[in-house]
Structure 1
Amino acid sequence: MKKRIAIVLLLALAVSIAIYFVSKDAINALTKGKTNPPDISAANAIVIELNSGMVLYEKKAEEKAYPASITKILTALVALENENLDKIVKVSDSAVGVEGSSIYLEKGEKIPLRDLIYGMMLRSGNDAAVAIAADVGGSIDNFACMMNDRAKEIGAVNSHFVNPNGLQNENHYTTARDMAMIAREAMKNKEFRKIASAKSWTSDRGEGKYNYFANKNKVVYQYDGGNGIKIGYTKAAGRTLVASSKRDGMELICVVLNAPDWFNDTYKLMDYFYDKYQLVKIAEGERLINSVKIVEGTKDFAYIGTKENVVCPSLKDKECKISIAYDVQKSRKAPVSRWQKAGKLNVYCDGEYIYSEPLYYLEDIERGRNSE
C-alpha cells in the first residue's frame, strides 16, 4: 500500500516538505505492549531510534540496575571529549593488576591514549579504564565526578558512577533508559563510533606485549548492520549489553540489563523494530526551511535550517500526522554568522512531542551602514 502524503508544516516561508502518515494509536500500542514484541530474558530493556531518540520499546527501563562494563561507554566518551588520542600516557601504579578483564599493563609503561581506549572498549580492559581515568581526571575520584557531570548533561539523571570500569559497587548504578541516552550521545562522536565498531585493533606496545585486541561484542560480527557498542558482566549485574545497528538508513540502540540470553534478546528486539518501522525524512540538512527577520542588517531576513537531516521513525502502513514547529526569535539584531544557533525545530506526532533538532543561521549578515 502506498503511503499518503500531506503538507502539515507551520512555515512563515513558502517551503513545502512531504510528511508521511503513521498512527499514533499504533505507536502507543507498541510502546505499551498492546502488540506482541518478542519475549526476552532481560530484566530491564529499551530500544530507541538513534537520530530522534524516540523510544520504541521499554521494559522496566527506569528501574535501578548495575551496569558492569557498559560503564566504559561513558568512560570512553569523557576521555575523547577531554584529551588528545595521541597523548602518551604513563601507566600509574593503580592501573596495574586490576581484577577482571585486562590488557596487562605494566607499571611505568608508556602507551598512547588511543590504544588504551581501544583496549578498554574491545578487550574490556579494566586496567586500561583505570589508566585512562587516572590520566584524564588526575585521580579516579575526580574522573568519576567528570563522568557524573557528563551523564547529567546528557539527561541520564538516574545514574551514579564511582569508577571507570563498572567493577561492582552498590553506589555504581544506572538504568536502561540512562544507558540508551549515554550510548546515543557517544555514537554521535565520530571517533567513538569508529572505536566501538572495530572488530579488532593492534597496538604497538613492543615485542612480547599484549598488542592484539579482538572485540568481545559479537554484535559487530553476527548481526546484519551491527556497528557497536559494548558488553558487560559481573555476578551482581548479570549480563549487560548495549548494541547498535543500522539498516536502510535507520539506526537503533538496544540496551538489555541482567539478560541471561543477552545477544538473542538484542537480535530479536532489533529485528522486530526494523520490521515494524521505517525512517521518514522530514527536512534536509543544510537547506533553508524558514527565516528570521534581521534588524539593522545588510539583509532583512536570514535563512535558517538544520545541520543534519531531520528524521522520525514511523510505523509502516499506518496513518498519523507528523508535524513540525519552530522555537525561534521573531527578529534578531545584526550581525549574525553562518552556523550560529538560531533556535530549535520541534517534531510532533499527532501533536505529541517527539524530539528537537537545533536550528542554525545558514548565512552571514553584517550590520548595515546606516545602523552604525
Structure 2
Amino acid sequence: MKIFSLSIIFLVATLCLSPPPALAKRHPGGAKAGNGSSYLVLINGKTFREQNADLRRPPASLTKIMTALIILERARLDDVVTVSRAAAGETGSRVGVRRGERFRVRDLLAASLIASANDATRALADHVAGSQPAFVQLMNERAHALGLGDTRFSNVCGHDQKGLYTTARDLVILTERALRLPAFADLVAQRSMRIQTATGRRTIAFHNVNRLIGRYAGARGVKTGTTPNAGQCLVAVAERDNIRVFLVLMHSRKRWQLAPALLDAGFARARAENLQVVGRRENDAAAP
C-alpha cells in the first residue's frame, strides 16, 4: 500500500509540473520569442508585432547584409578577386577558398550570402577596400547615410567583437535597401549554388543555411546569423497572394520554430483584415 501511495503522488506531481500538450505546442500568437529576444514583424511595411526592437544587440552574420550592400555598390559582379591571406585564414563558417585563388565577385558574394562564408566575405572586403579596417569604415559611413542611429560595425563577417551592434528596427531599413538590388534579392532566395574559380579548375558547392528557403511557402530570403553572444538571428521575408511579411529575429534560442510561427501569424492577420474589408464592402453594397 505504501509503494502504491508513493506512485500516485509521483504521478500527480509529474502531471502538475508538465505543461499541457496544447500549451507546450503553442506558437504566435500563441508563442513568444522569449523575454530575452528581439523581434519585429511587418505586414506590407506596417508593424504587426514587436519586442525589444530598439535594443542594441550583436547581429552575428546579419552583418553580411551591409557587407554585401557595400560590395554591390562599389564593385562589378564580373570583377575578379584574388583571395588574400587574411581571407583564407578566416574562422567560423567557410567554403574553403584558398590563398591566391581567383573568383568573380558574383561567386564570392553567393558564398557569403547563401553559405554565410566568412572566407568569401573577407576576400570581397579586402578586394574593395584593401583591408578590413578600411572596409569597416565604409560600412559605418553607409550606416550613417541610411540613418541607422543604433548600428555600428567593427568587422565585416559578424564575429563577436566590441563595437558591433544593431537593432531589429535598423536591420529592416538596411535589408530593404539591399533588397532593392536585383543581385542581392536573387542570391538570398537561392536554395543552393555551385561556384568556380576564375580559371574553372575548382568547383565549390554549398546550400543555403537559411532553412526557410525551399521549405516555407513564399520564403524569399534573407539571412541567418549565429554566435555565442548574438544567439540565433534571422532576417526573413515571405510573400503570398500580394501579402509580404518581413521578420527580424535576434538573440533567439529556437529560431526555426519561432520564425515560421511569427510569419504564419502575420499572414493570418493579413487574411483576417482582408476578409473584414471585403465583408464591409459587401454589406455596404447590400445596404439600401
Q: TM-score, normalised by structure 1?
A: 0.63
1:47 corresponds to which residue?
Answer: 41
Is residue 115–residue 209 contact of structure 2 (8 Å, CA) maintained in 1? yes
1:136-215 pair list within 5 angstroms? 136-205=128-197, 209=202, 211-215=204-208
Residues of 2 paired with 1:231 and 1:224: CA distance? 18
Q: d(CA) in 2 for partners of 1:38 and 1:181?
A: 26
Aligned to 2:78: 86
Counterpart-to-counterpart distance in 2, 1:224 and 1:75: 28
Aligned residues: 249
Quote how far apart the aligned CAs of 1:316 are: 5.0
Question: In the aligned structure 1, how far is the partner of 2:168 from the partner of 2:69?
Answer: 18
Residues 80 and 207 from structure 1, CA distance in 2 versus in 1: closer, same or farther, beyond 3 angstroms? closer
Give, in angstroms, the shift of residue 36 of structure 1: 4.8
Q: Does 1:131 align with 2:135?
A: no
Task: Decide whether the 8 Å contact of 1:48 with 1:180 is kept in 2.
Answer: no
How far apart are 1:38 and its partner, in Å? 3.5
Q: Is the 8 A contact 2:43 2:270 kept in 1?
A: no
* Bigger shift: residues 112-121 or 177-186: 177-186
Identity of aligned residues (%): 30
Secondary structure in 2 aligned to 1:221? coil
Aligned residue in 2 for 1:259: 252
CA separation in 1, counterparts of 2:144 and 2:191?
31
How far residue 78 of structure 1 moved from its aligned partner, in angstroms, is 1.2
Larger deviation: 204-213 or 85-94?
A: 204-213
User: Which of the pair is proportionally richer in strand?
Assistant: 1
Partner of residue 92 from structure 2, selected from 87, 96, 100: 100
Q: Give the whole-Å Cα distance in 2 for the aligned partners of 1:193 and 1:204.
A: 21
Higher helix share: 2
Aligned equivalent of 2:14: none
Question: What is the aligned partner in structure 2 of residue 57 from structure 1?
Answer: 49
Distance change >3 Å, CA 199–CA 183, structure 1 → 2? same
More relative contact order in 1 or in 2 (CA 8 Å, sep 6+)? 2
- The alpha carbon displacement at 1:37 in A equals 5.8
State which drifts further: 40-49 or 65-74. 40-49
Q: Distance in 1 between matches of 2:238 and 2:41?
A: 11
Flag the 1:49–1:152 CA change in 2: closer, same or farther, 3 A.
farther
Distance in 2, Cα, partners of 1:168 & 1:278: 40
1:161-310 equivalence runs, <5 A: 161-205=153-197, 209=202, 211-277=204-270
Distance of 2:105 and 2:201 partners within structure 1: 20
Q: Determine the C-alpha separation between the residues in 1 that align with 2:271 and 2:79.
A: 42
SS in 2 for 1:66: coil
Cα separation, partners in 2 of 1:318 and 1:152, compared to 1, 3 Å? farther
Residue type at the aligned position of 1:83: A
Q: Structure 2 vs 1, CA of residues 251 and 133 (structure 1 numbering), >3 Å: closer, same or farther? A: same
Distance between the aligned counterparts of 1:267 and 1:179, measured in 2? 19
Correspondence for 2:107 among 94, 108, 115: 115
- Partners of 2:38 and 2:251 within 8 A in 1: yes
Specify the SS of the correspondent of 1:220.
coil
- 1: distance between equivalents of 2:215 and 2:128? 34
- 1:317 matched to 2:276: yes
Q: Which runs of 5+ in 1 are unaligned?
A: 1-34, 280-313, 320-372
Alpha carbons of structure 1 residues 181 and 37: separation in structure 2 relative to 1, 3 Å: farther
The CA deviation string for residues 2-31 of structure 1, in whole angstroms up to 9 with x for no partner, is xxxxxxxxxxxxxxxxxxxxxxxxxxxxxx
Partners of 2:142 and 2:270 lie apart in 1 by 31
Per-residue CA deviation, residues 193-221 of structure 1 (Å, 9 max, x unaligned), is: 00000111111226784510211101112
Return closer, same or farther for 1:36/1:230 CA change in 2, 3 Å cut-off. Answer: closer
Where 1:258 maps in the other structure, the secondary structure is: strand
The secondary structure found in structure 1 opposite 2:252 is coil
Letter of the 1:62 counterpart: D
In the alignment, is the contact (CA less than 8 A) between 1:105 and 1:128 conserved in 2?
Answer: yes
Q: Write the deviation string for residues 282-328 of structure 1: whole angstroms up to 9, x where unpaired.
A: xxxxxxxxxxxxxxxxxxxxxxxxxxxxxxxx665269xxxxxxxxx
Task: Provide the C-alpha distance between the structure 2 equivalents of 1:201 and 1:95, rounded to a whole number of angstroms.
Answer: 20
CA contact (8 A) 1:102 1:126 kept: yes
The AA in structure 1 aligned to 2:73 is E
